[in-house]
């Protein structure tokens, strides 16, 4: 009896077909990674295989990165915006006008540590101004109002500078957005609510520092209660410390009641609680606010990882 021999290439095709069927079955049983909770907080789970950004070299965009579009980014470094402070500008190629972003790094950091993140935002189609601002623990005894609020003053100066110089970089000064991380989220929220109250050592004047939108990432919105040691607090007055807390400004009439808040938080319990409370209070006083949570990410990962989902949230705020 003659034996039938199946060619090896046909066996290979059969194996591939079996593999594809199995993969499709597995995918169809996976739950959605984005869901709405009863508190209207969007929670986004992140795969554990997410690749971190390099801190010195800008990676080439990939087709899976929502923040990577066709724009090439030119970086203009070390532009003075106060008598001592400098900022970098990230400008996309192509015709504008682009939305304008002021990106505020976290406490104790500098603009150099925010370079990759700033470039990612610029790739969405935005001119990004990234300053080094007073974000370290205030020094002095006693601590005066100017010392305590130095960070807010710098942030206000950066916004005034960005609004005045936006057109030089094909930006739209009428569409100004603050993106703040950690302590930068705290300062950015204060500026979004009361920015023109802070004068600072600005190199430009005559422009408002009130943004049109605010994006806070893991912001410490109850900064004094959570993060200021008692011995440091005693060196200043309660009234002056209150000026760096966003909650202080929620019971007054707003200069720009149409400013929109987009709060993003990871999985750090204290920061989650602050973000939820701040989001609720914003909505109570009539300010439009949304809250998106990445429960699987710690405080550092939320800005150090290459997360298409995070930049999609930022893109939605830039282009509502």
Q: Residue 88 pairs with which residues in a beta bridge? A: 130
Average confidence (pLDDT) over 31-36? 32
The domains of the chain are located at: 37-318
pLDDT value of position 42: 76
Tell me the pLDDT band of 198, cut-offs 50, 70 and 90. very high
pLDDT value of position 71: 85
pLDDT at 46: 54
pTM, entire model: 0.80
User: What percent of the chain has a predicted confidence (pLDDT) above 90?
Assistant: 68
Question: In sequence order, what DSSP letters do the residues of 47-107 get, joined into one string?
Answer: -TTPPBPPSSSPPPP-TT-TT--S--EEEEEEEESBSS-EEEEEEESSS-PEEEEEEE--T
Compare 307 and 11 and report the one with higher pLDDT: 307
Beta-carbon contacts of 285 under 8 Å, excluding residues fewer than 6 positions away, are 250, 251
The segment with the largest mean pLDDT, out of 49-63, 128-142, 243-257, is: 128-142
CA distance 220 to 216: 9
CATH 3.40.718.10 fits 37-318, yes or no: no
Could you report the per-residue pLDDT of 15-32, keeping only the tens digit for each?
433 333 343 333 333 333
Residue 233 has pLDDT above 50, yes or no: yes
Mean pLDDT to the nearest integer, 61-90: 78
Specify whether the CB–CB gap between 103 and 135 falls below 8 A. no
Q: Give the model's pLDDT for residue 206.
A: 87
The mean of the pLDDT values for the chain is 83
Write the CA distances from 167 to 98, 99, 123, 162, integer angstroms. Answer: 9, 11, 18, 9
pLDDT at site 57: 30
pLDDT one-digit tens code per residue, 125-145:
999 999 999 998 899 999 999
The confidence score (pLDDT) of residue 95 equals 85
pLDDT at residue 124 tops 50: yes
Q: Is the pLDDT of residue 202 over 60?
A: yes
> How large a percentage of the chain has pLDDT more than 70?
79
């Amino acid at each position: 009896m003659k034996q039938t021999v199946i060619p090896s290439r046909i066996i290979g095709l059969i194996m591939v077909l079996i593999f594809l069927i199995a993969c499709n079955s597995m995918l169809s049983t996976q739950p959605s990674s984005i869901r709405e909770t009863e508190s209207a907080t969007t929670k986004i789970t992140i795969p554990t295989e997410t690749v971190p950004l390099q801190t010195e070299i800008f990676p080439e965009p990939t087709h899976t990165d929502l923040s990577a579009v066709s724009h090439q980014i030119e970086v203009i470094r070390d532009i003075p915006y106060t008598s001592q402070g400098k900022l970098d500008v990230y400008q996309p190629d192509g015709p504008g006008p682009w939305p304008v972003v002021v990106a505020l790094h976290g406490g104790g950091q500098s603009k150099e540590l925010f370079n990759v993140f700033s470039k990612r935002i610029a790739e969405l189609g935005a001119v990004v101004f990234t300053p080094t601002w007073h974000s370290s623990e205030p020094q002095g005894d006693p601590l005066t109002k100017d010392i305590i609020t130095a960070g807010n003053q710098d942030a206000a100066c950066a916004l005034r500078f960005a609004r005045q110089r936006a057109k030089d970089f094909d930006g739209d000064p009428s569409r100004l957005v603050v993106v703040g991380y950690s302590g930068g989220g705290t300062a950015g929220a204060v500026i979004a609510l009361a920015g023109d109250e802070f004068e600072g050592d600005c190199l430009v004047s005559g422009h408002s520092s009130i943004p049109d939108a605010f994006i806070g990432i893991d912001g410490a919105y109850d900064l004094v209660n959570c993060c200021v040691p008692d011995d440091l607090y005693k060196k200043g007055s309660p009234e002056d410390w209150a000026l760096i807390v966003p909650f202080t400004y929620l019971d007054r009439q707003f200069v720009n009641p149409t400013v929109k808040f987009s709060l993003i938080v990871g999985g750090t319990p204290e920061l989650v609680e602050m973000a939820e409370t701040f989001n609720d209070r914003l909505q109570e006083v009539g300010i439009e606010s949304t809250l998106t949570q990445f429960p699987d990410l710690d405080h550092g990962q939320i800005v150090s990882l290459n997360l298409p989902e995070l930049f999609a949230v930022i893109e939605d705020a830039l282009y509502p």
